[in-house]
């Protein structure tokens, strides 16, 4: 089954509505990703938020979020907005402050792990 951009937008809209129940600002940041990068990047960002929510519910902590930068490798401009969404969601859920160190590098089109490691998205504390 092939999904068109409209299908992605519908799914993203649903995830944003669910996210908005936890954090209005996090949902706003994902909407900005939608506007800036399109529905596919926004869908990936909502997937990141869903995974983080599950991690927090199951483990009460987020151990390592470096995999999430990889999920948005095609849209490095979305990383600062994803950082905002994560930070706002954690804050609004009353979870410890999150500080992230994100390095943005050019040329993230390669699928080579070494190239992808040039984007660092990690928990500091």
Q: Looking at residues 16-21, what average pLDDT do you find?
A: 95
In the prediction, which pLDDT does 17 show?
96
| Domain limits, the chain | 5-123
Pick the residue with more confidence: 27 or 65? 27
Q: Report the chain's mean pLDDT, rounded to a whole number.
A: 76
> Does the pLDDT at position 65 exceed 70?
no
Kindly indicate the confidence band of residue 27, based on its pLDDT and cuts at 50, 70 and 90.
very high
In this structure, what token pair is assigned to residue 87?
Answer: 């930070």
Q: Give the residue carrying structure tokens 């800036």.
A: 36
Collapsing DSSP states into helix, strand and coil, what is residue 69? helix
pLDDT per residue as tens digits for the range 91-119: 888 776 554 544 444 444 444 444 433 33
Kindly indicate the confidence band of residue 121, based on its pLDDT and cuts at 50, 70 and 90.
very low
Per the confidence metrics, is the pTM higher than 0.75?
Answer: no
Decide if 66 contacts 121 (C-beta within 8 A): yes
Cβ of 81: how many Cβ atoms within 10 Å? 24
R_g over Cα of the chain:
14
């Amino acid at each position: 089954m092939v999904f068109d951009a409209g299908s992605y937008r519908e799914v993203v809209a649903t995830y944003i509505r669910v996210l908005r129940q936890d954090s209005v600002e996090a949902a706003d940041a994902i909407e900005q990703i939608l506007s800036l990068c399109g529905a596919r990047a926004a869908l990936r960002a909502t997937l990141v938020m869903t995974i983080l929510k599950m991690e927090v519910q199951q483990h009460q902590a987020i151990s390592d979020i470096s995999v999430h930068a990889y999920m948005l490798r095609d849209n490095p401009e979305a990383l600062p907005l994803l950082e905002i969404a994560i930070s706002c969601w954690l804050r609004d859920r009353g979870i410890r402050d999150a500080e992230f160190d994100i390095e943005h590098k050019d040329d993230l089109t390669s699928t080579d792990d070494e190239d992808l490691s040039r984007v660092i998205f990690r928990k500091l504390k």
